[in-house]
Structure 1
Amino acid sequence: MKEALFLNPVFQDRIWGGTQLHDYFGYNIPSDKTGEDWAISAHPNGPSTVKNGEFAGKTLIELWSEHPELFGNPKDPVFPLLTKILDANTDLSVQVHPDDAYAKVHENGELGKTECWYIIDCEKDAELIYGHHAQSKEEFIKMVENGEWDKLLRKVKIAPGEFYYVPSGTIHALGTGTLVLETQQSSDTTYRVYDYDRKDADGNTRELHLEKAIDVTTIPHHDAKLDIQVEKRDGATVTTFVSNDFFSVYKWDIDGNAAFKATAPYTLVSILDGNATLYIDQVATPVQKGDHFILPNEVQSWSLDGTITAIVSTP
């Protein structure tokens, strides 16, 4: 039967995590330091399992290797995308990620990490670190060595509904009081540059990765140029945030009945608000805030009837 693959969340405790994944989405979280929901993941550090249908209980890793037809028989050795929801109850460490070429050599063949953020919700004066002010590698190193963080780091005020594209090489960090959906390459490689001298539960400061961070940071910083497109159609407004070699990311604002056709071998959908009915071949399935699912290759058309906001990605 043609159907969506609904996925169970995988929660990750983080030093900066909180309770928003429960408070906002109603998830049954493991602790009051729950920082991440790996919502659609085939990464070995937190693979999703299928909730429904003939593949119930299978991990996304198993599906990718055993049933490539679900994904259009891809050439990628690993499922290339990872969808997360992050609860930054306090500031995240200042960090940077490598590109594919650097990660392949230095991280045992792991993918690089280009990512992007959709701000679901945030406190009134919330901000994030996006880029830096150093004009040369020498200046960057000097500011890091001297701990001139206020001078080095570029802070940006944020608001719900905004979108930020974070290519590999970009210095970045989410700030306190931010709830974000992150679409990224399927990678868990992070180089910490600064962590506010915090100590973990055992009283240890967390490891920094300055040498690798200096290797991969884009200097000077330049903002990624985005060409955001908005298309209004029957029952839906579709916003295209970004479309490149790594992923395409869209927002669906649906109010009424909206029909869709597949534009990629498979489609990842995260419902951020509201509820609706998903129709595939006239079979109805309810979807609601907090649901995450994949529309596999055999599902070439579908419709949604209701009122929802969703973030959607394709490879």
Structure 2
Amino acid sequence: MSEPLFLKPVFHKKIWGGRRLETKFGYDIPDGDIGECWAISGHPHGHSEVKNGEFAGQTVEDLWSSHAELFGNPKGRVFPLLTKILDANASLSVQVHPDNDYAWKHEHELGKTECWYIIDAEPDSYLVYGHHAKTREELDKMIESGDWDHLLRKVPVKPGEFYYVPSGTVHALNKGIMVLETQQSSDTTYRLYDYDRVEKSTGKKRELHIKQSEDTITVPNKDPKLDIQSKTEGKNKFTTFVKPPISPYFSVYRWEIKEPVTLKHDIGKYTLVSVISGNGKVTVDGKDYDLKKGDHLIMPATVDSWTIDGDLDIIASESGEE
């Protein structure tokens, strides 16, 4: 089978969500505050379903189990990546994610290293990205006293930027930011601080995970040293944001397409593709498929090469694991 797998997103309500997934991307989202579009997912909390072709109606996890050839016959137990779009209409909790060892032991799933491509950011938007504690003793003391102004590092942000967030990194998206997130397939989040917000449905503050946070936060904070590289081919521009060994779990790219280009992945690899703006088409084995803003697809390992044409801005990723 040599065709792309177009996927149906899954949407999640969040206390910090809004409606921009509808207004900016045209998605038919449920009522309420929708914070997350799970665009490419094999995770049990939100399975992506194939919309086209031979495998229409099947989920990514179905195919991972029954058609491993689509993914290069991988060794892993679960589909390893998760692509999301997040709409932070309000600030997310300040949080941290565990690494694989801690997550397997305590949560029975993968750890969570992630990254963000900033799609949109209101003026004066910022991230919480890292912390200022030099020792664990200092970290624990600042958490216990609620000294968030001195503990948390705030970083101004604007559209087009990229941030790599390894497990153990204290972080938060803040109000007015929309991102495409590439991450390990995990739904484990430890909340360190949540602004004393109350859930409308329960009238209670959301649960915090202080011990787990203290267990997993990297001290002192370590900023990843990225080697972001861009190249121009004709009118097209290709950027590599991160790849192994800096990021052991995934590679992430931006493709700015203005004229036809033929692409391929390494033998045995599959590629995740998300269109964040524009219109065009992708051609596989002589067959054309429309591409538009908000489309998400997997180009399986059974496709040797494909041609993209149009005016398109795409974020693509590949798993770093065999």
Q: Do the aligned residues in 2 keep the contact of 1:235 with 1:257 (CA within 8 Å)?
A: no
- What do residues 114-139 of structure 1 show as CA deviations (whole Å, max 9, x unaligned)? 00000000101110100001111011
Name the SS for the 2:159 alignment partner. coil
Distance in 1 of aligned mates of 2:24 and 2:185: 25
Correspondences of 1:31-70 after superposition (within 5 Å): 31-70=31-70
- In structure 1, give the amino acid aligned to 2:91: D
Alignment check: 8 A CA contact 1:99 1:111 kept = yes
> Counterpart of 1:272?
276
Matches of 2:235 and 2:301 in 1, distance apart? 24
Match of 2:264 in 1: 261
Partner deviation per Cα, 1:12-49 (whole Å, 9 max, x = no partner): 00000000100100001102300000000000000100
Amino acid at match of 1:141: D
Q: Structure 1 unaligned runs (5+)? A: none
TM-score, normalised relative to structure 1? 0.98
Instruction: State whether residues 234 and 258 of structure 1, in contact with CA within 8 Å, keep that contact through their aligned partners in structure 2.
Output: no
1:193 matched to 2:192: yes
| SS of aligned partner of 1:134 | coil
CA distance in 2, matches of 1:145, 1:36: 31
Alpha-carbon distance between aligned partners in 1 of 2:12 and 2:223, rounded to the nearest angstrom: 30
* Separation in structure 1 between the aligned mates of residue 235 and residue 131 of structure 2, nearest angstrom: 41
Where do residues 100-249 of structure 1 align in structure 2 (5 Å cutoff)?
100-108=100-108, 110-201=109-200, 202-244=202-244, 245-249=248-252
Q: C-alpha offsets along residues 53-102 of structure 1, whole Å, 9 cap, x if unaligned?
A: 01111011101001001111100110000000000000000000000011
- Single out whichever of 44-53 and 233-242 deviates more from structure 2: 233-242
Measure the CA separation in 2 of the matches of 1:119 and 1:44.
26
1: CA distance, partners of 2:233 / 2:47: 35
Q: Between Structure 1 and Structure 2, how many residues are aligned?
A: 314
Q: Give the distance between the partners of 1:3 and 1:236, measured in 2 at CA.
A: 24
Kept after mapping to 2: 8 A contact 1:234/1:257: no
What SS does the corresponding residue of 1:62 show, helix, strand or coil? helix
What stretches of structure 2 of length at least 5 have no aligned partner?
Answer: none
- One-letter code aligned to 2:251: S
**Cα drift, residue 269 of structure 1:** 0.1
Query: Do the aligned residues in 2 keep the contact of 1:235 with 1:258 (CA within 8 Å)?
Result: no
1-structure distance, mates of 2:280, 2:215? 47
Q: What is the CA-CA distance between 1:235 and the residue it aligns to?
A: 4.2
Partner of 2:13: 13
- Identify the residue that residue 305 of structure 1 maps to in structure 2: 309
Name the structure 1 match of 2:28. 28
| Identity in percent | 59
Other-structure match for 1:250: 253
- Partner AA of 1:307 in structure 2: D
Deviation (angstroms), 1:237: 0.9
Where do 4+ consecutive residues of structure 1 move more than 3 Å?
A: none
Taking the aligned partners of 2:272 and 2:73, their CA distance within structure 1 comes to 16
Conserved? CA contact 1:3–1:299, under 8 Å: yes
**Alpha carbon RMSD of aligned pairs, Å?**
0.8
Task: State the distance in 1 between where 2:126 and 2:179 align.
Answer: 12
